[in-house]
């Protein structure tokens, strides 16, 4: 009987110890807040912000303080072709070189042949100085260099055949663009280009 009692007491003591231990070591549950934070933050490590390079400021263009009548005078236009007169509805097309010149505060002009309907566009700018080289490179890529409008390096002229034909001329700080369906070859634009170059202030 005493043996049975001793075994019973021992079993009760073991059970009590087990219950006590279970109460001291609760099952760990994951902290959903901590877990989400660690996942979002890359394991809790804060990444240093990436430095954004500051773009180099572009130099400003110089406004061209000339009117269309000063770019090509009435007498010069008449000598070129008396059928041409100012095109009152003209505006440079979006994406064109003439529109770029207008955005750079240049002068953009157009004259229309009242007989054939051909339009001559002439635009003159003084682009930002740091843009001139890239403009020349683009002209070399798109057109053929020609000596028709002056002698390099003082005057660099380029002509691209097409409908319209296109002229680009660089002299000092000036960039001149001319386009017309009447320009089939470099010489077709030469009288007007010589007038424009002669009317620009010395550079």
pLDDT tens per residue, range 186-200: 999 999 999 999 999
Give the pLDDT of residue 117.
Answer: 94
175, two tokens = 């960039």
Q: Where are the alpha helices (DSSP H) in the chain?
A: 2-24, 32-40, 68-71, 74-80, 97-103, 132-142, 186-199
Q: Is the pLDDT of residue 168 over 70?
A: yes
For residue 126, report the phi and psi dihedrals to the nearest 5 degrees: -115, 90
pTM (whole model) above 0.85? no
* DSSP secondary structure of 32-49: HHHHHHHHHTTTTPPPPP
The predicted model gives 88-115 an average pLDDT of: 96
Among 45-49, 162-166, 174-178, which stretch is predicted with the lowest mean pLDDT? 45-49
The predicted model gives 62-74 an average pLDDT of: 97
The label of the residue with tokens 């003439």 reads 98
- Look over the chain and give the mean of its residue pLDDT values, rounded to a whole number: 82
Confidence of residue 100 (pLDDT cuts 50, 70, 90): very high
The number of angstroms, rounded, from the C-alpha of 194 to the middle of its chain's C-alpha atoms is: 32
Give the pLDDT of residue 58.
Answer: 79
pLDDT digits (tens, 9 = 90+) for 124-152: 999 999 999 999 999 999 999 999 999 98
């Amino acid at each position: 009987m005493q043996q049975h009692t001793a075994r019973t007491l021992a079993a009760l003591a073991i059970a009590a110890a087990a219950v006590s231990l279970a109460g001291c070591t609760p099952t760990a549950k994951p902290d959903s807040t901590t877990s989400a934070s660690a996942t979002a933050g890359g394991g809790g490590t804060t990444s240093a912000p990436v430095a954004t390079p500051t773009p180099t400021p572009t130099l400003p263009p110089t406004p061209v303080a000339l009117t269309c009548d000063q770019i090509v005078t009435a007498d010069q236009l008449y000598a070129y072709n008396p059928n041409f007169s100012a095109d009152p509805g003209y505006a440079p097309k979006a994406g064109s070189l003439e529109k770029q010149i207008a955005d750079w505060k240049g002068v953009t002009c157009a004259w229309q042949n009242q007989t054939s309907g051909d339009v001559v566009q002439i635009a003159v700018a003084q682009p930002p100085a740091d843009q001139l080289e890239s403009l020349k490179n683009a002209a070399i890529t798109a057109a053929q260099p020609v000596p028709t409008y002056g002698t390099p390096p003082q005057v660099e002229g380029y002509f691209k055949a097409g409908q319209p034909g296109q002229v680009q001329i660089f002299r000092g700080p000036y960039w001149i663009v001319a386009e017309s369906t009447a320009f089939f070859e470099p010489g077709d634009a030469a009288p007007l280009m010589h007038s424009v170059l002669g009317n620009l202030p010395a550079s």
